[in-house]
Structure 1
Amino acid sequence: MSDRLAAAQAALNGGRRDEAIGHLIAAIGDDPARPVQVYRTLTVQLYQAGRYEEGAAFGAKGLERFPRDFDLLNVRGVNLRKLKRLPEALAALEMATRVAPKNLGGLQNYGNVLLDLNEGAKAEGVFSRLVRIDPRNGEYQRQLGRALHKQNKLEPALVRFRQAVTVQPGLIDAWLDMVGILGEEHRTADAEAQLDRAIAANPGNARLLEGKTMVLRRTGQAARAEAFAREVLAAQPDAAWVHHQLGIMVSEQDRAAGNVLLRRAIALDPARIEYVTALIESLERTRSGDEGGHIEEGYQLAKTILHRSAEFTESVTKILCEIMIRVCDFDGLDQVGDFRTLGRGWAGSGRHTALLKQLARVRTDEDRRELLEQHRIWGRGVEVPASRRPIKRPPPRPPGGKVRLGFMSSDLRQHPVGYFALPLFDHVDHERFEVFVYSFYTGQEDAAQRHITERVTAYRWWPDISVAGAAEKIAEDQLDMLIELGGSTHMNKLEVMAYKPAPVQASWLGYPHSAGLEAIDYLVCDPITVPPERELLVEKPLMMPKSWIALGSRFFSNTVEIKEAPELRNGFITYGTANNPHKYTREVLQTWARVVAATPGSKFAFIRPEGSGESFRANILRQFAAEGVSADRVIFHVIRGAHMPFYNEVDITLDPFPLTGGTTTAETLWMGVPLISLIGPAFYERLSASIMTNSGIGDLAVNTLDDYLAAAVALAGNRERRLELRGSLRDRMRNGPLGQTDQFARDFYDMIYRTVRPAG
């Protein structure tokens, strides 16, 4: 044995793995023609050290010399699996099973990769064989259950999970897999009962105790979940998972208190990446105090785990992307993952909320179609389970009578959705319609909600109801049509639509893209927002004659005064935006900077709470500097909520693209500030153009980036038009389709009536 190999063996004997790895790598470097055992030992040690990339690479090097060595094929496969290079892992492990078809470990690893690839039928064959060989191996039974689950064979899967815990009661994963299926099927009582059995068989097991907390929380039993977690905390004050779960629950009502608990979870178990990302997510959502500072703290935490990509789950990537977006770190965003991989991962794991952040990343027609497919993937993942558990429905209503129209949203309150929906409740067509509202809002009733409640047939407020429970109760109202307004934003339940609680269903207002459900028949559009290529929608367009929105008088009032144009006070043009950074891209900031560079003496104002954060400011300034715009020409107004007066500090608003403004576009025009927008093919690329056209400035919505730059510079040079618009835009909106709320409501109710009661 060479000195290097002897040193490696001595290091292994002494438990010094990294030192041993160094000697083994050096030994192979000295002489690549080392015996196969050297390569085997090195790749195994690299795997155990979590150095998967090197393990896969040295496995490949060893296979060049020993192409049919089972151990090298097997360990290369598991290293590649950790790297999520699944097709390569499958190829290596498939070859391993050919080389050693009776090796059960190799077969199991091969089956595991098939499960990762959602090849349920093939995995079933592998694990059926393993179960026949060793029926008392609980892990084989469990993996066979997972293979059956992948094929939606739920009852057979449950049988296998029960068998697994029968032969091996300590197999925690099998208990949790069983509970997972019961949860999917909304068999809440059964899921809780199984967890109680599991806890009885494994007293004090942290994963099972946490599982019960999560089942209670996810089934709308927030009070019970918190009480259970606090009971465990009293007995186990240093249990990291309890602080983690309590932090998530508490932060919904008190971010500061929740963040304290989440920080404690990390202190108790700093290696858990999900604990770190839970705090990042909560900090990103903390609105009190210095919001930009909270975001900065979350961002700095995120940078500490970017190198741990092998541990990334869809939940982790979603949170990392959200924090990167808030500080405009586009390089960090790219490091987390690419458009297709991330989107399909989120869609496949049921994370519809993450798809909103995909809209701004669209670049090409291929991207637009890919984004539509990502929504369809999510939709199929919701509709298939819903089809297996149909809801109870009452007998059909007698024909005739008033049309029963339902609106489902947790945002029909003081919220942008409430602002735009209000005209329909101020002008309900009581002669032809009974109007129902369904909300899952968990906060306190506000004045806007009370206002709406007084004007509808019924306001159903169910803050703790499950998805299936909501669908069933909505069906009891025997609606003719149900319209969802919330998308998948916080506290909404888009999945209810998959159960088809009404015979005709539509989406409107709350989400600027097709939701992805075939069960939703229509998307409310207007002649401007409707995509010229109809294949860019899942639903059929339901067409309003002029505008798909109107301005609720309760919210768009004269409360905030329009002041003198800032150019007259400052002597220079100020461009600006109040749009959320999830609409910014490199191209957007580059374009805005070029507009400023092309307008002598001009500045750009960001009206955003992120502006107090060091990294947000630095990243913005870097993008502007690249186009020759110095830092003194960029202004940050740090504000949330009470931002309307800050439009008085802007002469011209520049719209983001491809995801344009909506609420912010209405606000800027209401404050007399004209807008430059870029029109694209998809619905979400045409929102501003609709508002602008219906406000009489459709010419400022253009079709190319060159035209965008030219229109902005030209408007900056046309003081007469800008001052005229500053004095007239509010009246144009009030007197046009956006402000004629009674006509808007008539058009809307006529459209619905024609849809559910077609002539003849």
Structure 2
Amino acid sequence: MPTKSEAIAAHQRGDLNEAEQLYRDLLHSAPADAELHYYLGLLCRQTGRAAESAQWLQKSIALAPASLPALQMLARVCDEMGDTAGALHALEQYLTLRPDDAGMLNVKGQLLVRLGRLSDAEQAFRLAAERNGAATMFHDLGFCRQLLGNPSGAAAAYQEALRRGHDHPRTKLWLAQCLRAAGRTKEYYDIATDAARSTPDDIELLIESQSACRYVCDWDGFDRNQQRLLTRLQRIMGSNGGEDVPPGILNYLEVDERTISDMAKRYAGQLSVAGKMLRQNLRAPATPRSGKMIRLGYLSTDFFTHAVGSLVRDLFACHDRARFEVHGYSLRHQPDETQIRIQQGFDVYHILAGKAAHDIAQTILDDQIDILIDLAGYTSAAQPSVLAARPAPVQISWLGYLGTSGGNFIDYIIADNIVLSPEIARNYTERVIRLPCYLVTSPLPSSEHRPSREEAGLGSAGFVFCSFNQPYKLDRQTFTAWMDILRHVPGSRLWMYVPDTAVCGGNLRREAARLGVEADRIVFAGREPMANHVARMSLADLSLDPFHISGGATSVAALAAGVPLLTLRGESYLARMGSSINSSLGMDDLDCTEPDQYVAKAVELATTSGRLDAIRKELAKALQNSRFFDTRSFVSSLEEALQSAWNHHEAGLPAVDISVSASSPRP
């Protein structure tokens, strides 16, 4: 009769056929020997029989529940088979016996991430990092927190990982992105530019470094590396494989529309593959939905006090409930007054922050949404793979991301005749829904207290130009034009928002001095609640729109305060938003086509007696009589377009361009 020692010896020397036969013979006489079951399970794994391996290991554990090797091996085998839930179950049994095993806690976190249980994963990663202190565990903790939408917490974990020696380019990239999202501008700039210098061949770090330069208005640094960025992008486009760059941030880096479109198509191709795999793992709804009402869903990362959130705040409540049932899907949950108002406007509201793409797509599919409007695109915390899985038959992009998706999983993009002319639309893969104006607005609050000019740092006299746009929307050409305006209007000031006066403000004042403008004529302002912001905006005389990336919500706030908006019509959706706004108000005289015309118009309004007063009266009349802050009228036009898109789908027809004229609001 063979012995167990002989069987194990055969196994160890690699004679697997002999070892297996010996194990099986021994089990006939000793069926309750847990160790024999374990070794046979191990051998089956080594010979590519994962399912059989799991069966032997489960029998071993049934006989010896405290067998740590068997529990570890079962977790590994289940993981290799794609049975993440089974792997987690085995690992949790192991951790009840060895709760301080940091390595296995970290593995548990990884399994929980795959299951979409991010809050539980964060706890496992945190315990692992605390008990072991390994740099990689802090890295995993940071990644999990980033997925949870906690950029400050993620940044702290990434910084600890770097401090402990995890000097990896991806860690630096993700740290930079978290610092950007957390509004820690100087740290963002320092990390991003240093990482790009130390890893010059990493295209994503180069892109992040260029973005960081824009965030602090370091245009010298931006110009030094821009040609290198453009060359790298062209090289990628000329290759058949390799890097696929997320296109979202390229829209802000002075990259031409054709290149952005080509990069988006490459990236969307990658997403489509992931989306098809995701779709295969989704279960169909148990029962088909009855009724003729269109079920409309909105997917967003910004259902709170945010540029997008302030614009759409009243939109959802205005939908016609006789025709539409409206569902909201929130990918970032930040409870505040705006978030509560938005949630109240939906019939059904799902908080999906921290959920895996599979769970988000399954929720939408279970709700049997007919038309899904994506308000996030390729922006931070978005989930484009959900759209690639096609959880709704008609999918539309709007507002939060204004570039093309590049993919066949988005049918339409909402625009108007100005922001997306036929020439510009050639670079978009989507069909275009053209409304009277692409922009929805919700009425903005205004504080009863208006600060004095002195309180705002504007002095007692002098014309006040303003721009409260994020600094990354600015560029050297725009700022040079603004300084030209100041030189031609004695005593005038430029009132600007900056996230920090030291770095960004310092760069702007140095650039102003280089262009011959005194530093004290540039006045900086910080962030304020919307009601206070609208109240202080009324101190300005004229709002200046950036050239290449127009203001959206920022321009709406200026107009709500009665401040006219001077715009330059550019060559992209992003560069035409201000032009669309002025056109919708009938303020076409303030929409310029050339930079020199823009400068001359600003100087004329500031120096010609009575000219600005006439423009402000014209604006006040337009705001009173137009649809600009009439959310219900906007929704009527939107619903007409959505009905048309749905009719095309129901008839089995492909998506086509849809144009809607101004609609009268429902009573």
Task: Give the TM-score, by structure 2 length.
Answer: 0.73
Deviation at 1:243, TM superposition (A): 3.3
Match of 2:254 among 340, 359, 362: 362
1:227 partner letter: Q
Match of 2:506 among 608, 615, 618: 618
Asked whether the equivalents of residues 328 and 348 of structure 2 are also in contact (C-alpha less than 8 Å), the reply is: yes
Aligned equivalent of 1:173: none
Asked whether the equivalents of residues 206 and 241 of structure 1 are also in contact (C-alpha less than 8 Å), the reply is: no
Deviation at 1:348, TM superposition (A): 7.3
Matches within 5 A, 1:61-140: none
Aligned equivalent of 1:415: 306
Task: Pick closer, same or farther for the CA change 1:214–1:420 going to 2, 3 Å.
Answer: same
What per-residue deviation string (whole Å, max 9, x for no partner) do you get for residues 66-91 of structure 1?
Answer: xxxxxxxxxxxxxxxxxxxxxxxxxx
Aligned equivalent of 1:668: 558
What per-residue deviation string (whole Å, max 9, x for no partner) do you get for residues 77-111 of structure 1?
Answer: xxxxxxxxxxxxxxxxxxxxxxxxxxxxxxxxxxx
Match of 2:135 among 240, 253, 260: 240
Aligned equivalent of 2:420: 530
Matches within 5 A, 1:81-230: 189=85, 213=109, 216-217=112-113, 220-230=116-126
Deviation at 1:688, TM superposition (A): 0.8
Asked whether the equivalents of residues 248 and 379 of structure 2 are also in contact (C-alpha less than 8 Å), the reply is: no
Aligned equivalent of 2:374: 484
1:630 partner letter: E
Aligned equivalent of 1:632: 520
1:636 partner letter: F
Task: Pick closer, same or farther for the CA change 1:279–1:537 going to 2, 3 Å.
Answer: closer
**SS at 1:536 equivalent:** coil
What per-residue deviation string (whole Å, max 9, x for no partner) do you get for residues 442-487 of structure 1?
Answer: 333x444443444433223323432233223312223322111122
Task: Pick closer, same or farther for the CA change 1:211–1:273 going to 2, 3 Å.
Answer: farther
Task: Pick closer, same or farther for the CA change 1:338–1:194 going to 2, 3 Å.
Answer: farther
Instruction: Give the whole-Å Cα distance in 2 for the aligned partners of 1:404 and 1:422.
Output: 20
Match of 2:486 among 552, 576, 596: 596
Deviation at 1:335, TM superposition (A): 3.1
Matches within 5 A, 1:308-707: 308-310=198-200, 312=202, 314=204, 316-333=205-222, 334-335=224-225, 337-339=228-230, 341=232, 352=246, 355-362=247-254, 367-388=256-277, 389-390=279-280, 391-394=282-285, 401-444=292-335, 446-533=336-423, 534-544=425-435, 546-553=436-443, 555-556=444-445, 570-610=460-500, 612-613=501-502, 615-639=503-527, 641=529, 643-707=533-597
Aligned equivalent of 2:598: 708
What per-residue deviation string (whole Å, max 9, x for no partner) do you get for residues 339-372 of structure 1?
Answer: 36359979976664xx343223336xxx211111
Instruction: Give the whole-Å Cα distance in 2 for the aligned partners of 1:442 and 1:632.
Output: 40
Task: Pick closer, same or farther for the CA change 1:220–1:340 going to 2, 3 Å.
Answer: farther
Matches within 5 A, 1:730-749: 730=620, 732-749=622-639
Instruction: Give the whole-Å Cα distance in 1 for the aligned partners of 2:617 and 2:110.
Output: 55
**SS at 1:672 equivalent:** coil
Instruction: Give the whole-Å Cα distance in 1 for the aligned partners of 2:251 and 2:334.
Output: 29
Instruction: Give the whole-Å Cα distance in 2 for the aligned partners of 1:239 and 1:707.
Output: 60
Task: Pick closer, same or farther for the CA change 1:588–1:380 going to 2, 3 Å.
Answer: same
**SS at 1:459 equivalent:** strand
Q: Larger helix proportion, structure 1 or 2?
A: 1
The gaps in structure 2 that reach 5 residues or longer are 1-44, 50-75, 652-667
1:385 partner letter: A
Instruction: Give the whole-Å Cα distance in 1 for the aligned partners of 2:490 and 2:87.
Output: 66
Asked whether the equivalents of residues 453 and 460 of structure 2 are also in contact (C-alpha less than 8 Å), the reply is: no
2:511 partner letter: Q
**SS at 1:407 equivalent:** strand
1:324 partner letter: C
Instruction: Give the whole-Å Cα distance in 1 for the aligned partners of 2:464 and 2:482.
Output: 12
Instruction: Give the whole-Å Cα distance in 1 for the aligned partners of 2:645 and 2:473.
Output: 34
Matches within 5 A, 1:241-260: 241-247=136-142, 249=144, 260=156
Deviation at 1:270, TM superposition (A): 7.4
What per-residue deviation string (whole Å, max 9, x for no partner) do you get for residues 202-260 of structure 1?
Answer: xx999998676456446532222222223323431x42233344355568677666655
Deviation at 1:192, TM superposition (A): 6.8
Asked whether the equivalents of residues 314 and 341 of structure 2 are also in contact (C-alpha less than 8 Å), the reply is: no
Instruction: Give the whole-Å Cα distance in 2 for the aligned partners of 1:492 and 1:527.
Output: 27
Aligned equivalent of 1:48: none
2:270 partner letter: G
Identity of aligned residues (%): 26
**SS at 1:520 equivalent:** coil
What per-residue deviation string (whole Å, max 9, x for no partner) do you get for residues 679-702 of structure 1?
Answer: 123222211111111223122111
**SS at 2:422 equivalent:** coil
Structure with the larger RCO, 1 or 2 (CA within 8 Å, 6+ apart): 2
Deviation at 1:412, TM superposition (A): 2.9
Instruction: Give the whole-Å Cα distance in 2 for the aligned partners of 1:420 and 1:277.
Output: 31
Instruction: Give the whole-Å Cα distance in 1 for the aligned partners of 2:345 and 2:233.
Output: 43
Task: Give the TM-score, by structure 1 length.
Answer: 0.65
Asked whether the equivalents of residues 314 and 442 of structure 2 are also in contact (C-alpha less than 8 Å), the reply is: yes
Asked whether the equivalents of residues 277 and 320 of structure 1 are also in contact (C-alpha less than 8 Å), the reply is: no
Asked whether the equivalents of residues 458 and 523 of structure 2 are also in contact (C-alpha less than 8 Å), the reply is: no
Instruction: Give the whole-Å Cα distance in 1 for the aligned partners of 2:332 and 2:325.
Output: 22
Task: Pick closer, same or farther for the CA change 1:644–1:343 going to 2, 3 Å.
Answer: farther
RMSD: 4.1
Instruction: Give the whole-Å Cα distance in 2 for the aligned partners of 1:161 and 1:526.
Output: 62
